[in-house]
Structure formats: C-alpha cells, structure tokens
Amino acid sequence: MKKSMIFCLLISLFILCTIPSFAKEVVLNYYSHAVENGTRTEIIEEFEKTHPGIKVNLVELPMNTSKKLQTLSTIFQAQDSSIDIFDADVIWPPIFASAGWVEPLDNYFTAEERAEFLDGPILANTYMNKIWGVPYRTDAGILYYRTDLLEKYNRSIPNTWNELVETSLYIMEQEADMKGIAGSWAQYEGLVCNALEIFWSYGAKVLDEEGNVVLNSPEAVEALQLMVDMVNKDKITPDGIINFFSGDARAQFFAGKLIFMRDWPSGWRKSQDPEQSKVVGKVGMTPLPTGIEGGRSYSTLGGWQIMVSNFSKHKKEAAEFAKFRASYEAQKIAAIGLTHLPSRKAVYADAEVLAVNPYYKDMYNVFLNAYPRPKTPFYAEVSSVLQVEIQKALTLKKTAEEAIKDATKQIEEILNY
C-alpha cells in the first residue's frame, strides 16, 4: 500500500472516532399510546427517513389516560432520563410544567408556527406564558346517532338532553335489546369529559375565570340528576355503564345496540369498518345536546401533544420529533389512518382527509369551539374527586345534591392547599 493511501486511511479513522455524529446515532425514547394499527409506525419511519442519525424507540403506555399519567409521574418523580418525549393529554401541561418535568418549547416551536394550529390546543399548551407541548391531535366530544333509526321512527336529532331521553325511550319501546346512549362513564378521565359537557350545557362550571370553585350550584345538581336518571330511572344506558371505557361504548354502538353514543371522532374509523361494525352507512354525527332549550352545546376539548422531558439528554432532537409528529404530513397520515382530529387548520381542507372524514365540513365549528377542562397543576386531583363523587351519585350512594356539595368542598381544599 502506498504511503499516501495509508495516510488517508488514518485520517478517515481519526475523523470517524473524534466526530461523535459519525459514530453515534441519537435514540429517542418515545412513551406513547398502546399499539394502534401501524399508522404511528408509518409516521416514525417517515421521521427516521428524513432525519438520519435519529432513531425513535417506542415504549407503550397503558390505554387509559389516568393510568398513563400515573406511570409517567412515577418515572418523572425519579428524575429519570430514560424518557425523551411522550404523548401528553391536553390537560397535562400545567401539571408537568409546574413540576419542572418538561422543557419549554418556545425556542423550537415559534409563534409563527403556532398560528397554523387551532387556538384551543395552543392555549392548552400555553402556561405561565410559555409553550410546553406541540399538539399533534385535537379532540372534541360529539354525538353519534343512528340515521336509519331516527328516520324509521320519524324522530329528529335531539337538541336537548331531555329530547335525547324521550327519543331513546320511544325507540326502545319498539326495538327490543336497544338502549339509548352510552359514553365513557367508568371511573377515569373519560367520565369527567362526558360529565362536564352535560354540566356546562346546563350552565354549571367547576371553576370561574378567576379560578374560584363555583361547582356548587342548582345547575350542576340538575345536570348530575339527568345522568343519575338516565341510569336509574329512565334506564336508557346499558347495564354496567359505570364500568364503560370508550371502547365499551363503541362495542355496543358498533354491534347495533345503541341509538346514540357520546364519543370522540376517533370512533368514526371503526364505525365504518365492516369487519368491526354492523352499522356502516347508518351513522351520523352531530353536536352534543344542550341542557337548556335554545342554549349552547358544549364539547370537551381533548387531544394529544408531544412534550419533551427536562431530563432528556437529546432535547434538540426531541423537539424536532415533536414538530414532525405535528407536521401537516404526519397529521394527514393520522387523520386518514386513525381518524384522529387534526390540530392544524389546513389539514381540515385536505381532499384526501375529507374523503375519509366527510363530517369535518359540518362539524368544524364544534371542533373549533371545544371547551377546555379546568386548567390547574392540580388537575389530576380535581378530576379524581369529580370521578368519585359523580359515580357515588350514579350508584345512588349519595344524592346528586350531596355529591356536588362534597365534590365542591374537596376541590376547594385541593386548590387552597
């Protein structure tokens, strides 16, 4: 071998060993939802293709959002650096930000970029004047209904909850084995989302604008009484509703056993899949009913963001992934593959996305105006009180009035802590 060749080889070896980016790739640990249908893998593969040198290692979290929060909190309490990025529920930014567990993303996710997103998810990720997450999916509670049944029995889409109860009773009288409505009423975050929509629509609130606890009101009692009666008096909800997660309500609706269902738009995909649903082509979507005649319909703002751990050793790469996960391209893949609701405005006008989600046109205003749950670093505790007290009323262990009073007292104690 010539001397010059040996020299070149030695130089190359030296460069390879001394410049770390040549030798190492960054692996981001992404704590995410339990397995879906390959859509998220497709997004991750796209990211890895366009970002050589960064790999994403997926770690699955439990299905239930309340359990996800418990799992993540335990890891973060130990200041463990094994999480780089994670899927965060829309109510979590104040919890994680105030604990010092996440990195503010203002330097990565500029105000100009944020303007391309819906206001609701951006506001939810903004806390103490900083942005803490990149929303890649929003969510909003909606009413699914059986178009064929309403037509057959000549009933209109219910505007109020009372109308929904009446219509359910009317159809149930004539259709054996049918029930009126189900949602996620088990003792977890889903129950709070479902219940608050009813509470708000009666004019009740948990906190006012200044953060005072204003739950104890005749409106809140009326709203909770409606839920109690749906289960115990009118019996329009299926047996075991107090143990229903979102998937349980879907299973009943897709089996053709429900007239109405309260769910998120992600239920749409399966409702239209003949392998999973008996109601393909018979499903309509509409805003949730109101409590008060002529009043406004409320839909809980849900959704998911990527947050970056403050203990990550790869914050820059982590922020790059967060932005990619919320990019137009990735949101389009998820809107088509999983009927996940986009957080970027422009995706709602995409023809291919609209072909799979034709309801976007009529429901855009509902998605735009989805209403946030209370914004507080103590959200998990507040939510847990609501879950327990609402279930006590639903199971007749307390009257609606007692449950509301007791919930108010406990929430006051939590927030004045």
**Residue, CB closest to ligand GLC:** 302
358, with CB counted inside 10 A (0-12, 13-18, 19+), is exposed
302 binds ligand GLC (CB under 6 A): yes
Q: Closest Cα to residue 72, out of 17, 24, 32, 118?
A: 32
**Of residues 193 and 306, the one with the C-beta less far from ligand GLC:** 193
Helix ranges restricted to H, 233-286: 246-254, 267-271
Q: Closest Cα to residue 138, out of 90, 200, 190?
A: 90
Helix ranges restricted to H, 3-146: 3-18, 20-23, 39-50, 65-77, 93-99, 111-114, 119-125
264 binds ligand GLC (CB under 6 A): yes
Structure tokens at 184: 């996620």
Binders of ligand GLC: how many residues, by CB under 6 A?
12
**Of residues 139 and 320, the one with the C-beta less far from ligand GLC:** 139
How far apart CA 400 and CA 390 sit, in angstroms, is 8
Structure tokens at 103: 């990195």
How far apart CA 252 and CA 320 sit, in angstroms, is 40
197 binds ligand GLC (CB under 6 A): no
How far apart CA 373 and CA 381 sit, in angstroms, is 13
190 binds ligand GLC (CB under 6 A): yes
Q: What is the largest CA-CA distance in the chain?
A: 95
303 binds ligand GLC (CB under 6 A): yes
**Of residues 262 and 398, the one with the C-beta less far from ligand GLC:** 262
Choose, by CB under 6 A, the member of 29, 32, 65, 339 that binds ligand GLC: 65
How far apart CA 75 and CA 106 sit, in angstroms, is 25
**Of residues 190 and 374, the one with the C-beta less far from ligand GLC:** 190
| Closest CB 366 distance from ligand GLC, rounded Å | 14
| Closest CB 312 distance from ligand GLC, rounded Å | 23
The residue range among 195-203, 214-222, 280-288, 302-310 that interacts with ligand GLC, by the rule CB under 6 A, is 302-310
| Closest CB 13 distance from ligand GLC, rounded Å | 51
189 binds ligand GLC (CB under 6 A): yes
Q: x/- string (CB under 6 A) for ligand GLC, residues 7-46? A: ----------------------------------------
* Residues contributing to the site for ligand GLC (CB under 6 A): 65, 89-90, 139, 184, 189-190, 193, 264, 302-304
